[in-house]
Amino acid sequence: MAIYEFMDISTGHLTTDDVALLDEGELPFDVMSYDYGWVVSTAKLIAGPLREDSARDLSRSGLSPEFIAAAKVAGERNCWLLRFDMDADLDPDLPVGGYGMDPDELAPPSP
């Protein structure tokens, strides 16, 4: 029996355009949607012979730099799946796309 790791981050790392692409389902990886977000396969982004081609495929598919950064980090962390969940926290090491966030959440913190 195998146990695989996954990464759980906020849907705030997605852009509106990413969401449209995830909902269309015409992407170079498997996508599962559910009531609170999406789960995507990042197995091809784990270190190995498929990684570089898979990263290029993400870019060619029209996904945002924010999505691509999150997917690459998931692969670097040896995660087979990346879950974008509306109740999850933002990862401070990743760029924010702003999907589902209030405008005040996107503003930089006051000094």
- Does residue 7 carry a pLDDT above 90? yes
Q: Which pTM was predicted?
A: 0.89
Does residue 56 form part of some domain?
Answer: yes
Domain total in the chain? 1
- Does residue 111 carry a pLDDT above 70? no
Does residue 110 form part of some domain?
Answer: no
Cβ-Cβ contacts under 8 Å for 23 (sequence gap 6 or more): 33
Does residue 98 form part of some domain?
Answer: no
Domain residues for 13? 5-91
Per residue in 45-93, pLDDT tens?
A: 998 888 889 989 999 999 999 999 999 999 999 999 999 999 999 999 9
Does residue 101 form part of some domain?
Answer: no
Q: Within 13 Å of residue 25, how many CA atoms lie on the same side as its CB?
A: 2
Does residue 42 form part of some domain?
Answer: yes
